[in-house]
Chains A and B, each alone.
Chain A
Amino acid sequence: AQSVTQLGSHVSVSEGALVLLRCNYSSSVPPYLFWYVQYPNQGLQLLLKYTSAATLVKGINGFEAEFKKSETSFHLTKPSAHMSDAAEYFCAVSDSGGGADGLTFGKGTHLIIQP
């Protein structure tokens, strides 16, 4: 069975500082990995996805993530935090790139941006 672990339920960074949100996965097959962001009172918005085409994936709003098979990790980074990045971030995994498989989510990381 697949699973996702997000280290740190809350991460606080200063505006302009590096953002690093950690995600480790467990999957019996090569995974498809996703990062979603949830702003207050909104749904989940896809930030980026890993589909085995490239290990470094660029997403929206300046975020990127690197797939490291040896570490079973898919950490999310952004070089310079902006106040508008404050939100809840979810890492998710799917064993299948097709079909009707549900996504398995981590518990989420609340990103706080200090002015």
Chain B
Amino acid sequence: EPEVTQTPSHQVTQMGQEVILRCVPISNHLYFYWYRQILGQKVEFLVSFYNNEISEKSEIFDDQFSVERPDGSNFTLKIRSTKLEDSAMYFCASRPNTGYNEQFFGPGTRLTVL
């Protein structure tokens, strides 16, 4: 069964460093998403991406964040200058162009900012 994959599973970085989190959505899906979950808190929507551009973004998704689909399979989230409060689990999700916004999630990348 096809699934969303994410790499790395765990990323440790120093405050102020740039990180790139990678996702491979399910191959025939057209909508892509990033969410984050700070430890002990709810899963929060960051951004959605469709047709090679950002469709929606939340208040959390400020100028330090960017997303890209560099090729036909990868979808990346870049954090330019990490802060301590960026430590969280980051989930990628995708969905096809049909259905009712049911999104398929990857296993997540745990980002730890020191």
Contacts and interface: CB of A to CB of B under 8 A. Distances in A.
A32 B95 CA distance: 15
A42 B107 contact: yes
A36 B42 contact: no
Interface in A18-35: 32, 34
A101 B41 CA distance: 21
A46 B1 CA distance: 14
Given A43-B106, A44-B91, A104 B100 contact: no
Q: Which of B6, B45, B106 has the most CB of A within 10 A?
A: B45
B48 A105 contact: no
Contacts of A105: 42-44
B49 A103 contact: no
B6 to A, nearest CB: 8
Interface string B79-114: 000000000000101000001111111111000000
Interface in A62-115: 90, 92, 94, 96-108
B18 to A, nearest CB: 24
Nearest to B4: A43
Given A43-B107, A44-B91, A106 B42 contact: yes
Contacts of B31: 100
18 contacts: A32-B100, A43-B91, A43-B107, A44-B43, A44-B93, A44-B105, A46-B103, A90-B43, A94-B101, A96-B101, A99-B55, A99-B101, A100-B56, A103-B43, A104-B45, A105-B42, A107-B41, A108-B42
Q: Which 10 A-B pairs have the closest CB atoms?
A: A102-B45, A100-B55, A100-B48, A44-B105, A97-B100, A43-B107, A105-B43, A43-B105, A51-B100, A94-B101
